[in-house]
């Protein structure tokens, strides 16, 4: 063992990320940007059309908005009306809660949440990450909400 050539990667710090599917796309985000993952609660839909907003839910006394920043769910939301939550439940959807800045929370509906450890090398500098030869778009919370 002592004679083996040690790989540079062996010295890299591993950063925990979560991969998830949001809409039909796969994303990856550092775990420290994610405040909580909750099972799908009762989502009260917004009565009027608000940009990128599906509704609100109650998390231990705090009202948190459910967003759809890339408008993946907008059609289902409009078509299904009161059955939209049921539709999400069937998909085994959970809510990923982000803290954008102190006390400002938001959430998105996601599926297939998994934990993965990535080194700095693997993270690279592009907006996408390759994990086991599968591309994942990097989900930068601040940039997503800055644009919206």
Please report, as ranges, the residues that interact with another protein according to CB under 8 A.
42, 44-51, 53, 56-58, 60-65, 67, 78, 81-82, 100, 104-106, 145
CA distance 38 to 126: 29
For strand 128-131 and strand 134-138, is the pairing parallel, antiparallel, or unpaired?
Answer: antiparallel
The residue among 24, 103, 111, 95 whose CA lies nearest residue 54 is: 95
Q: CB 147 → another protein: shortest distance, Å?
A: 12
By C-beta, is 118 or 144 nearer to another protein? Answer: 144
Contact between 108 and 66 (Cβ < 8 Å):
yes
Q: CB 137 → another protein: shortest distance, Å?
A: 21
Q: CB 99 → another protein: shortest distance, Å?
A: 11
By C-beta, is 20 or 67 nearer to another protein? Answer: 67
CA distance 69 to 72: 8
By C-beta, is 16 or 63 nearer to another protein? Answer: 63
């Amino acid at each position: 063992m002592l004679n083996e050539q040690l790989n540079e990667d062996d010295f890299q710090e591993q950063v925990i990320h979560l991969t998830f599917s949001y809409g039909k796309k796969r994303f990856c985000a550092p775990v420290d940007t994610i405040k909580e993952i909750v099972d799908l609660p009762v989502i009260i839909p917004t009565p009027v059309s608000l940009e990128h907003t599906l509704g609100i839910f109650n998390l231990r006394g705090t009202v948190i908005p459910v967003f759809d920043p890339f408008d993946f769910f907008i059609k289902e939301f409009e078509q299904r009306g009161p059955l939209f939550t049921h539709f999400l439940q069937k998909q085994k959807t959970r809510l990923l809660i982000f803290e954008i800045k102190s006390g400002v929370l938001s959430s998105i509906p996601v599926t297939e949440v998994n934990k993965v450890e990535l080194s700095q090398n693997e993270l690279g500098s592009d907006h996408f990450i390759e994990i086991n030869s599968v591309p994942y778009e990097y989900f930068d919370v601040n940039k997503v909400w800055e644009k919206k």
